[in-house]
Amino acid sequence: MKKYMSVIMATILLMSFCMFFSVSVSAVAKATPGLGETSGFFSYELLANGEAQITEYNGSEAEVSIPSVLDGHKVTRIGERSFQHCESLKKVFIPACITQIDEAPFRYCDALVAITVDENNPVFDSRDDCQAIIETETDTLIAGCKTTVIPDTVKAIGSSAFFCCSSLTEIVIPKGVTHIGGAAFSRCIALKNIMLPDTIIQIGGFAFYGCTSLESIDIPDSVTNMGDYNTFYGCTSLKVIRIPSGVKKIGNGIFSHCTALTYAELPDTVIEIGPDAFLSCNSLLSVKIPKTVTSIGNRSFGYEQKMGDMIGSPIPDFTIYGYPGSTAETYARENEFTFIPLNEETKIGDADGDGQVDLTDVTEIQHLLSSMKTNADEETMMVADVDKNGVLEIIDATWIQRYLAGMEIPYTVG
């Protein structure tokens, strides 16, 4: 009997130990940094210091105040894309305890109109009722929405600050801003107008990627760096672009798939043009390449890439204007494009080759198009192809007339 009771007691003790061990392991697991937890509508994970990072919001409220505490853990961080696709979210409040906010926390929150930071927050602020989050120490705007008004005190637009803000239609960047971060306005598909001040020095890669409604943008001459990759990729409404005079490198794919682009002006400061820089710019039928250019990447100009086509196909009748013996001529010859040679005295619009652009050039174009006798052959007169579409037309004469009348035109003459 004693032996039997001993076995029973041993079994009870073993079971108690196992239950205690199981509970202990469960408790440890819950507090282990990096493991996902849920509290109400918030998913979070613990950081190494025991504080909480919000990883996802699963609610549908129109107004949300970020909690200061979740399950007894102080909330100090908002994770990347943690509020994405919250279609009902209109207002969000950031408490004083939040000291780190990762990129694009509110992407695809199209209804968001108000972002407020607690005035006691030591790291971030929403000064001047700007409806945005600004990193106080650096004056960098790190997250905005469609109603954001950027304060004059802001010095930089952070990476992904307006990423996928698909209801943003226009924005004014104030004087004093020097940098626009990578992907800052990426996929802002409704953005039509943006004003850039002459204080901007750098525009990051992917900054305006996929801004399909952007029709025009004036890039100031203060800009010396336009990003290494895909800065304006897929801006399918962009028609005219002028590269600032301080830019030396045009990055890879920077204007790729800008299908409406008809004119691109490259300054004499450009040295390098990266691969695919103007790939699938199907409406760009010609380009003038400065003699300063020493490197032109594969498929930089004159190629169209369709879905499933990894190599790309030449755009028919693509024309390159450049200087004899230049990298531009080499690129044209290697890709079997038409090459129109220029010289130091060549002026765009000088149809008769007399070194001046005047009304006689208009007359020469009219005579050529009317099959009348001209003072220059057709190939020489191609320098009067003002819109550089590869064809000399009456519209080129019109552009020259407007230039001579002192009117503003979207192309270079003279």
In order of start, what are the domains of the chain with their CATH numbers? Answer: 345-414 (1.10.1330.10)
Q: Please answer whether residues 240 and 261 qualify as being in contact, where contact means their C-beta atoms are separated by less than 8 angstroms.
A: yes
In this prediction, residues 191-217 reach a mean pLDDT of 95
For 379, counting Cβ atoms within 10 Å of its Cβ (0-12 exposed, 13-18 middle, 19+ buried), the class is exposed
8 pLDDT higher than 90: no
User: Which pLDDT score, from 0 to 100, does residue 383 have?
Assistant: 87
Categorize the per-residue pLDDT at 35 as very low, low, confident or very high, splitting at 50, 70 and 90: low
CB distance 363 to 374 below 8 Å: no
Question: Cα separation of 217 and 241, whole Å?
Answer: 7
Is a pLDDT exceeding 70 seen at residue 175?
Answer: yes
pLDDT band at 412 (very low <50, low <70, confident <90, very high): confident
Provide the percentage of residues in the chain whose pLDDT is more than 90. Answer: 72
State the pLDDT confidence band at 259, using cuts at 50, 70 and 90. Answer: very high
- Average pLDDT score over residue span 313-333: 95
Res. 301 pLDDT band, cuts 50 70 90: very high
Task: Share the mean pLDDT of the chain.
Answer: 89
From the DSSP assignment, how many helices (H) and strands (E) are in the chain? 5, 27
pLDDT of amino acid 15: 46
Which helix (H) or strand (E) segment is 144 a member of?
A: strand 140-144
Q: What is the pLDDT of residue 32?
A: 55
Q: Where are the beta strands (DSSP E) in 181-305?
A: 193-195, 202-203, 240-242, 249-250, 263-265, 272-273, 286-288, 295-296, 303-304
> Taking the CA atoms of the chain, what radius of gyration do you get in angstroms?
30
Q: Is the pLDDT of residue 21 over 80?
A: no
Residue pair 223/247 in contact (Cβ under 8 Å)? The answer is: yes
C-alpha–C-alpha distance, residues 376 and 396, integer Å: 16
Reported confidence tier of residue 198, pLDDT bands at 50, 70, 90:
very high
- pLDDT tens track for 95-122: 999 999 999 999 999 999 999 999 999 9
Query: If 0-12 CB within 10 Å is exposed, 13-18 middle and 19+ buried, where does residue 292 land?
Result: middle
Other C-beta atoms lying within 10 Å of the C-beta of residue 161:
27
Comparing CA positions, the residue from 258, 253, 252, 246 lying closest to residue 217 is 258
Instruction: Give the sign of the dihedral formed by CA 302, CA 216, CA 156, CA 136.
Output: negative
Top pLDDT among 141 and 413 is at: 141
> Residue 34 has what pLDDT?
56
- Residue pair 320/291 in contact (Cβ under 8 Å)? The answer is no
* pLDDT grade for 87, boundaries at 50, 70 and 90: very high
Residue 18 has pLDDT above 70, yes or no: no
Output DSSP code: residue 411. S
Can you give the pLDDT at residue 407?
Answer: 87
Whether 312 contacts 277, CB under 8 Å:
no
Rounded Cα–Cα distance for residues 79 and 101 (Å): 6
Asked if residue 90 has pLDDT above 90, the reply is yes
Backbone φ and ψ of 164, nearest 5°:
60, 30
Counting every residue written for the chain, the total comes to 414
